[in-house]
A and B are shown apart, each in its own frame.
Chain A
Amino acid sequence: MSTRPFASFGTINAMPRAEETHPLTWRLRDDGAMVALDEYRDKHGYEGAKNALDMKGDDISELVKDAGLKGRGGAGFPAGVKWSLTAKGEEMPRGYVVCNADEMEPNTYKDRMLMEQMPHLLIEGMIISALANNAFRGYIFLRGEYHDAAASIERALAEAREAGILGTSVLGSEFDFDIFLHTGAGRYICGEETALINSLEGRRANPRSKPPFPGQSGAWGKPTVVNNVETLCNAPPILYHGKAWYLGLALEGSDDGGTKLFGFTGQIKNPGLWELPLGTTAREIFEDYAQGMKDGYRLKAWQPGGAGTGFLLPEHLSAQMCSNGIADVGTRMGTGLSLAVDHTVNMVSLLRNMEEFFARESCGWCTPCRDGLPWTVKLLRSLERGEGEQGDIEILEELTGKLGPGKTFCAHAPGAVEPLASAIQYFRDEFEQGISHPRRAAHAEPIPVGSI
């Protein structure tokens, strides 16, 4: 059982925080240990779920929609809208709520903190989601490497069952709902929501075609709502304090309500994780919280939220971190945990590393992704060695188009080419430096497939 303090999230356990302003982190203990049931209840735990029990499911969805809660798993889809689209009604079987706890997006470590330290907040969020979506069962799909999170969740589930919070009569009501922990066994693609459902069913994690959307026909053909850990953790405070308060947490200019776990990593002074209002500028996070670059390092580029988001320049730090703020500078906020790329990093080498990751993690289902990503790796490797030929950059650019949104079966390939396209756009000279051969003079051997 996990009682040891977790010291992995920068200063998040030492930041000043309050219930009114830090709905996700105000209950965190100074020592970083899990907030157990008694302490959680003493601090208004499960009050949001109690309010939800007195409401109609559609009204819960409406409230969450009006509060401006957007999905925190990377795609930013409004949570309340997703819930309102789930098939429900007399003739529909009750379905599932599935928590996407597969957190494998490079540079993302927020769900891990929430699950290790605040598992009851997640359980409460899943109860609220179950009420809104008329679900009879929940699964937490947790990546296999998160052993400490698994221990916290198992302990919290046992506490909740024991206390009558989960089971046949949730919090003394007539609603029955239980949650099981499902742990994975690797593969990034499991995080894609339809691949996750296949994996949950005990199959290979290939994505499914949409439609039908999981809300119509998901796990075992039943209506299934998949939400990210952090998304679900925002539901209890919304149900407890209301939409006006939640909307008011975000700063002016943000279309999204609430706060967000933001982070910054790389060669910076104070890498970490912080709960801040949506709409906080990236510069404030970078300078005030991350405290800028380490001595001797200069910021060259940054990426707002995970490997699948585009690179930005230092001047773009003035953008607000919220879905519309980052869209304004040409990419997506993604998971909201940013990476600083310093002046010592060569963009071609970095992209080679990233595309090796995306190529290895392709599920291999559709041709553009299965064959296109290894091709980018091959071209980037030759550019990195300084052995590229005229036309290589143009081929890479063409691939970023051919693997873009709508061209492949799922969003894996579009995510893979988004950073590549932006890196070529902003740092084309670094790619050009890798070219030493005239056209058709360098790549005699066929494209290797499967050797990534």
Chain B
Amino acid sequence: MTQPTSLIASDRARPEFDMHDEDRHAIEHEMSHYENPRAASIGALKIVQKRHGWVPDGAIYAISDILGIPSSDVEGVATFYSLIFRQPVGRHVILLCDSMTCYIDGYEAVKEALARQLGIQMGQTTEDGRFTLLPVCCLGNCDKGPAMMVDEDIHGPVTPDNVMQLLETYS
């Protein structure tokens, strides 16, 4: 295994990060599923994100240490994938499908209703830290569009009239 080399911020101090034991074990378990530990990088980022809500800088280094790959590679992966968050998000993440079927079914009206009621645009988090609103590709719920995912729950058809009521259960 190659020694971890930090190519991003080699001279800077590494931000503190306490990898939870359980998470470390979960990452090591993931690694055992592949020929090469690098393959667990996306899984590792998801494990960290599940606990913290997002992936802080320090976690990038911690993951690179566990996997034995450069931290720049971990960062490269973290910034490529849209469901890995490199900045804090709200307690609940709203993924609103903006693909064509939902577009035909009225996605734009839902987006406007959400923006108005939550006071945020796509990519933003509400002031109280409750919701982050993000666009997503087709959620595979097109027969019930417009579709929306909140955390791990799929909803549809979502309308400007029912969307706020749907969100009420997420405190």
Question: What separation, in Å, do the CA atoms of A345 and B104 have in the docked complex?
Answer: 7
Q: Are B98 and A353 in contact (CB-based, < 8 A)?
A: yes
Q: Are B137 and A188 in contact (CB-based, < 8 A)?
A: yes
Interface segment, one of B6-14, B124-132, B141-149, B161-169 = B141-149
Q: Are B142 and A109 in contact (CB-based, < 8 A)?
A: yes
Residues 340-361 of chain A, each 1 if its beta carbon lies under 8 Å from chain B, else 0: 0110010000100110110001
Q: Are B137 and A357 in contact (CB-based, < 8 A)?
A: yes
Task: Give A263 Cβ to nearest chain B Cβ, in Å.
Answer: 7
Residues of A within 8 A of B82 (CB): 185-187
Q: What is the number of residues of chain B that contact chain A, defined by CB distance less than 8 Å?
A: 43
- Cβ-neighbour of A106 out of B38, B95, B100 (below 8 A): B100
Residues of A within 8 A of B35 (CB): 219-220
Residues of A within 8 A of B144 (CB): 8, 271
Q: Please tell me if A440 contacts chain B, counting CB pairs below 8 Å.
A: no
Q: Are B101 and A106 in contact (CB-based, < 8 A)?
A: yes
Q: Are B46 and A183 in contact (CB-based, < 8 A)?
A: yes
- Quick one: which of B72-89 are within 8 Å of A by CB? 73, 76-77, 80-84
Residues of A within 8 A of B149 (CB): 145
Q: Please tell me if B120 contacts chain A, counting CB pairs below 8 Å.
A: no
- Cβ-neighbour of A203 out of B77, B83, B84, B145 (below 8 A): B77
Q: Given the known A-B contacts A185-B84, A265-B143, A266-B104, are A106 and B39 also in contact in the complex, defined by CB atoms under 8 Å?
A: no
- Quick one: which of A219-236 are within 8 Å of B by CB? 219-220
Task: Give B68 Cβ to nearest chain A Cβ, in Å.
Answer: 12
Residues of B within 8 A of A273 (CB): 143
Question: What separation, in Å, do the CA atoms of A347 and B29 have in the docked complex?
Answer: 49
- Cβ-neighbour of A187 out of B81, B95, B98, B138 (below 8 A): B81
Q: Are B80 and A204 in contact (CB-based, < 8 A)?
A: yes
Residues of B within 8 A of A342 (CB): 104
Residues of B within 8 A of A147 (CB): 152
Q: What is the number of residues of chain A that contact chain B, defined by CB distance less than 8 Å?
A: 53
Q: Are B77 and A339 in contact (CB-based, < 8 A)?
A: no
Question: What separation, in Å, do the CA atoms of A353 and B106 have in the docked complex?
Answer: 12
Q: Are A272 and B143 in contact (CB-based, < 8 A)?
A: yes
- Quick one: which of A7-22 are within 8 Å of B by CB? 8-10
Q: Given the known A-B contacts A10-B143, A107-B138, A186-B82, are A357 and B100 also in contact in the complex, defined by CB atoms under 8 Å?
A: yes
Q: Are A339 and B101 in contact (CB-based, < 8 A)?
A: yes
Q: Are A205 and B80 in contact (CB-based, < 8 A)?
A: yes
Residues of B within 8 A of A341 (CB): 104
Interface segment, one of A37-45, A51-59, A194-202 = A194-202
Q: Are B103 and A199 in contact (CB-based, < 8 A)?
A: no
Q: Please tell me if B71 contacts chain A, counting CB pairs below 8 Å.
A: no
Q: Are A108 and B83 in contact (CB-based, < 8 A)?
A: no
Q: Are A186 and B40 in contact (CB-based, < 8 A)?
A: no
Q: Are A357 and B98 in contact (CB-based, < 8 A)?
A: yes
Q: Please tell me if A176 contacts chain B, counting CB pairs below 8 Å.
A: no
Q: Are A186 and B83 in contact (CB-based, < 8 A)?
A: yes
Residues of B within 8 A of A337 (CB): 142
Q: Please tell me if A144 contacts chain B, counting CB pairs below 8 Å.
A: yes
- Quick one: which of A152-202 are within 8 Å of B by CB? 180, 182-188, 199-202
Task: Give A248 Cβ to nearest chain B Cβ, in Å.
Answer: 29
Task: Give B157 Cβ to nearest chain A Cβ, in Å.
Answer: 10
Q: Are B39 and A201 in contact (CB-based, < 8 A)?
A: yes
Question: What separation, in Å, do the CA atoms of A199 and B77 have in the docked complex?
Answer: 9
Q: Please tell me if B59 contacts chain A, counting CB pairs below 8 Å.
A: no
Q: Are A107 and B100 in contact (CB-based, < 8 A)?
A: yes
Residues of B within 8 A of A350 (CB): 100, 103-104
Q: Given the known A-B contacts A145-B149, A307-B99, are A105 and B138 also in contact in the complex, defined by CB atoms under 8 Å?
A: yes
- Cβ-neighbour of A186 out of B33, B36, B81, B142 (below 8 A): B81
Q: Are A263 and B143 in contact (CB-based, < 8 A)?
A: yes
Question: What separation, in Å, do the CA atoms of A421 and B137 have in the docked complex?
Answer: 22
Q: Please tell me if A409 contacts chain B, counting CB pairs below 8 Å.
A: no
Question: What separation, in Å, do the CA atoms of A147 and B141 have in the docked complex?
Answer: 13
Q: Given the known A-B contacts A201-B38, A357-B137, A361-B137, are A185 and B143 also in contact in the complex, defined by CB atoms under 8 Å?
A: no
Task: Give A212 Cβ to nearest chain B Cβ, in Å.
Answer: 18
Q: Are A339 and B99 in contact (CB-based, < 8 A)?
A: no
Q: Please tell me if B136 contacts chain A, counting CB pairs below 8 Å.
A: yes
Residues of A within 8 A of B38 (CB): 201-203
Question: What separation, in Å, do the CA atoms of A10 and B141 have in the docked complex?
Answer: 11
Question: What separation, in Å, do the CA atoms of A248 and B90 have in the docked complex?
Answer: 54
Closest 4 CB pairs of A and B: A186-B82, A106-B99, A185-B81, A186-B83
25 interchain pairs, CB-CB under 8 A: A8-B143, A9-B143, A104-B140, A109-B140, A145-B139, A148-B154, A180-B33, A182-B33, A185-B82, A185-B83, A188-B137, A199-B42, A201-B38, A202-B38, A202-B39, A205-B80, A205-B81, A265-B142, A265-B143, A271-B142, A307-B99, A345-B104, A353-B103, A357-B137, A361-B137
